[in-house]
């Protein structure tokens, strides 16, 4: 949920920093700490001094970051930390001392090791599941255990719940105790791999987020990953890895990447060594995944050798050595993409609708002066031109789950749909206001338009949606409101801001809030978000998702409205809302959503789950019966005629023929459960373009079949709203002609 812009930093704000460094090879942690603290004091939007009150909040955030679910520390630990550090942590930080961070982390490590040892003892016991006890679903909402005795009881109940969950699971492929023990062994291993640099990074991140939820400290690796996410490309081999049993395991080969083109690596191969060119191999077994990834990435056209245990190896001693030349790997899954939908109308005709999905407002952070740098606006314009070529009568901009990105991309994208004028205004801490404008009078699309949002649409998405709403250019449809992030962040690399850090490239960066932005009509999106003109039932429309659910958000306020020319055609919002509200109760899928929301809210309020087998089994039986009932209702309902649909990507937008896709009915709750648990889909559920070894065309390029597009109820009703909009807009045109 990022919103970034360029900013020239005043040298005077930084000149007070000390010049001492620890050795010539790496920056001193104390100097990094001082630098980060002073930057926030002097450049953050609030200009809040790091005082006693802030000290207490930093400590609170650090404890919460380490023990997010209040499982490891006791209240006695917390009280001791508060007594020792709460009123002097600010002085420690400003003097470059990080003793508190390491001492607290050492205690946390001891608690983790103690708890895992307790888990092993608990797993040796014969479990019973007939008690009337329960555990908290979300322990963030409950206090830390009062003492060691209370902590032991919490862990007994937690392990009992996990054992019961495995016992009642459908797939009994392993002994539950063995499976859970292995899970905690991996947790302990990952934790013990943390370095002193990791401790400092966590502590400084907590310091940053004490100022507001969207400020951060980023290590060198974090900064590199941020750049990759923004420009949607990296230099490497195009293999996604996961840590498993001490190995870096290949879980996906990126389409078009060097690894897939080479046909020498396969999904499931386990990496045991990496060598640069002709250098010696570095053993990668039990090495941190980040380190393995760092060794595999590198400069374009350089060579990396990878030693793997093949997925089809008969023994663990089998080894293959694969040599691959690094190249640019484009993350196409995160690019803008489109669909051309042909919806049937009652008179035998069809309505052509364009649907553009925008995952983020991406761009190349180093794009200055580069006309070919990655750009959201350029990509959307390419898709839009193809949709216009196909004769679309309406357009949907789908910003659901779009967490934001570059400010200028939001401004430029808005410019595609308005003639010209202000898009957003940003106010600094001292009251200075900068207005970002679209100065190009060209309007690339002037037809009926819907902007689709949900609670996960944030930052740059809210700027775009807010501008479309204020200009009266589009109807905003979706959740009751968007995320509510109305702040602008600036990325500052410490090596540039603090030249005294001799080897500052390893010092990382800070991303800090420098401005709040306001809509052209004067209101802020901070906390309030952008409210939809037409609200559709959605499983995401919950107060737990949004700015108000985060710690220490900046407040909502308003500012002066600007002069701008609204769109000169009516949106018919009242009539569109009336028609939509009449349809929603008759859509069974929306009824399912409302029922699920009621159940979620009830369980969230109760915040407990039983560890009694009969009670838990009854709950599972109830859920199963509900799923089967819905599946039966779906099968019993007559299927409407499916709309024709075509996929448009940046790769095929200029080609003559488009890829036909097929809509499918919404699946049962099985898929939602997997998504919630972060589990991969079963093979039969996976879209066909996720396969890792596709057929190749005559030029050796991979061929992908188009996956089905799920016609979820929100998408279905958005089609209906846009069709109504198109119909009403035709009526306006007819009325105008008759009047003339």
Yes or no: say if 162 and 609 are a contact pair by the CB < 8 Å rule: no
Active site residue 538: no
Closest residue by Cα to residue 539 from 454, 607, 476, 634: 454
Return the residue matching tokens 């929306």. 590
Yes or no: say if 150 and 139 are a contact pair by the CB < 8 Å rule: no
Give dist(CA 582, CA 590) in Å, integer: 12
Please pick, among 379, 408, 470, 541, the residue that the annotation labels catalytic.
470
Task: Render 168-224 in DSSP notation, one character per residue.
Answer: HSS---S-HHHHHHHHHHHHHHHHHT--HHHHHHHHHHHHHHHH-TT-EEE-HHHHH
Burial of residue 504 (CB within 10 Å: 0-12, 13-18, 19+) is: buried
- For 524-535, give the secondary structure using H, E and C: ECCCCCCECCEE
Active site residue 459: yes
Yes or no: say if 584 and 717 are a contact pair by the CB < 8 Å rule: yes
Q: How many residues does the chain have?
A: 740
- Which residues, other chains included, contact 723 with Cβ-Cβ below 8 Å and sequence gap of 6+? 343, 345, 351, 353, 394
Please pick, among 55, 219, 459, 461, the residue that the annotation labels catalytic.
459
Task: Render 330-386 in DSSP notation, one character per residue.
Answer: E-GGGS-EEEEEEEE-TTS-EEEEEEEE-S-B-B-TT-TT-TTS-BHHHHHHHHHHH
Instruction: Give bridge partners of residue 478 from the DSSP assignment.
Output: 453, 535
CA gyration radius for the chain? 28
Active site residue 374: no
Structure tokens at 592: 């399912």
Structure tokens at 35: 């630098």
Distance of CA 683 to the CA centre of its chain: 24
Please pick, among 201, 485, 511, 516, the residue that the annotation labels catalytic.
485
Q: How many CB atoms lie within 10 A of CB 20?
A: 11
Yes or no: say if 50 and 93 are a contact pair by the CB < 8 Å rule: yes
Instruction: Give the Å distances, CA to CA, from 316 to 129, 189, 198, 243.
Output: 40, 21, 32, 17
Give dist(CA 579, CA 598) in Å, integer: 25
Q: Report the Cα–Cα distance between both ends of the chain, in Å, rounded.
A: 49
- Which residues, other chains included, contact 247 with Cβ-Cβ below 8 Å and sequence gap of 6+? 270, 271, 272, 284, 285, 309
Active site members: 459, 470, 485
């Amino acid at each position: 949920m990022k919103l970034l812009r360029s900013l020239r930093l005043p040298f005077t704000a930084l000149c007070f920093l000390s010049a001492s460094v620890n050795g010539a090879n790496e920056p001193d942690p104390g100097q990094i700490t001082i630098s980060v603290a002073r930057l926030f004091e002097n450049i953050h939007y609030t200009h809040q001094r790091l005082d006693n009150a802030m000290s207490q909040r930093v400590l609170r955030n650090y404890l919460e970051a380490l023990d997010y679910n209040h499982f490891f520390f006791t209240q006695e630990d917390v009280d001791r930390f508060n007594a020792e550090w709460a009123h002097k942590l600010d002085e420690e930080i400003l003097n470059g001392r990080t003793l508190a961070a390491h001492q607290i982390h050492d205690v946390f490590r001891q608690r983790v090791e103690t708890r895992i040892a307790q888990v092993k003892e608990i797993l040796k016991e014969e479990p019973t599941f007939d008690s009337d006890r329960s555990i908290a679903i979300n322990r963030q909402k409950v206090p830390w255990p009062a003492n060691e005795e209370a902590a032991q009881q919490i862990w007994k109940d937690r392990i009992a719940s996990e054992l019961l969950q495995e016992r009642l699971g459908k797939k009994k492929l392993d002994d539950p105790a063995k499976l859970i023990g292995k899970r905690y062994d991996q947790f302990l291993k990952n934790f013990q791999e943390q370095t002193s640099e990791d401790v400092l990074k966590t502590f400084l991140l907590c310091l940053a987020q004490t100022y507001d939820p969207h400020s951060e400290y980023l290590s060198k690796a974090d900064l590199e990953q941020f750049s990759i996410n923004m420009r949607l490309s990296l230099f490497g081999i195009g293999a996604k890895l996961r840590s498993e049993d001490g190995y870096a395991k290949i879980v996906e080969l990126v389409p078009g990447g060097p690894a897939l083109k080479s046909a020498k690596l396969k999904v499931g191969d386990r990496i045991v060594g990496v060598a640069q060119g002709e250098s010696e191999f570095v053993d990668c077994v039990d090495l941190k995944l980040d380190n393995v990834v760092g060794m595999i990435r590198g400069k374009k056209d350089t060579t990396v050798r990878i030693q793997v245990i093949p997925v089809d190896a008969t023994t663990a001693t089998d080894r293959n050595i694969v040599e691959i030349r690094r190249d640019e790997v484009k993350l196409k899954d995160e690019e803008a993409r489109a669909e051309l939908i042909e919806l049937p109308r009652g008179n035998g005709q069809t309505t052509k609708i364009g649907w553009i999905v925008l995952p983020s407002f991406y761009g190349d952070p180093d794009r200055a002066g580069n006309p070919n740098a990655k750009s959201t606006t350029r990509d959307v314009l390419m898709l839009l031109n193809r949709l216009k070529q196909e004769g679309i009568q309406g357009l949907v901009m789908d910003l659901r789950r779009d967490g934001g990105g570059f400010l200028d991309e939001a401004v430029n994208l808005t410019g595609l749909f308005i003639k010209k004028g202000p898009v957003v205004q940003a106010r600094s801490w001292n009251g200075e206001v900068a207005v970002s404008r679209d100065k190009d009078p060209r309007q690339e699309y002037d037809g009926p338009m819907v902007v689709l949002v949900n609670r996960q649409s944030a930052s740059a998405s809210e700027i775009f949606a807010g501008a479309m709403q204020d200009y009266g250019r589009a109807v905003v449809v979706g959740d009751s409101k968007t995320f509510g992030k109305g702040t602008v962040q600036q990325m500052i690399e410490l090596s540039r801001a603090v030249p005294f850090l001799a080897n500052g490239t390893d010092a990382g960066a800070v991303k800090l809030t420098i401005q709040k932005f306001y809509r052209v009509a004067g209101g802020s999106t901070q906390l309030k978000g952008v409210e939809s003109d037409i609200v559709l039932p959605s499983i995401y429309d919950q107060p737990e998702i949004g700015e108000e659910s985060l710690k220490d958000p900046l407040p909502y306020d308003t500012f002066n409205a600007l002069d701008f020319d609204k769109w000169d055609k009516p949106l018919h919002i009242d009539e569109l809302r009336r028609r939509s509200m009449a349809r929603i109760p008759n859509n069974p899928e929306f009824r399912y959503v409302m029922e699920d929301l009621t159940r979620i809210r009830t369980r969230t309020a109760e915040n407990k789950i039983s560890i009694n087998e009969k009670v838990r089994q009854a709950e599972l039986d109830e859920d199963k019966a509900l799923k089967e009932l819905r599946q039966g209702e779906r099968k019993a309902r007559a299927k409407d005629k499916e709309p024709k649909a075509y996929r448009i990507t940046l790769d095929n937008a200029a080609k003559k023929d488009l890829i036909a896709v097929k809509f499918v009915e919404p699946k049962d709750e099985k898929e939602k459960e997997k998504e919630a648990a972060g589990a991969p889909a079963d093979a039969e559920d996976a879209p066909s373009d996720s396969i890792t070894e596709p057929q190749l065309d005559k030029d050796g390029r991979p061929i992908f079949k188009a996956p089905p597009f799920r016609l979820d109820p929100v998408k279905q009703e958005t089609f209906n709203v846009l069709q109504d909009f198109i119909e009403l807009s035709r009526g306006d045109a007819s009325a105008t002609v008759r009047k003339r």
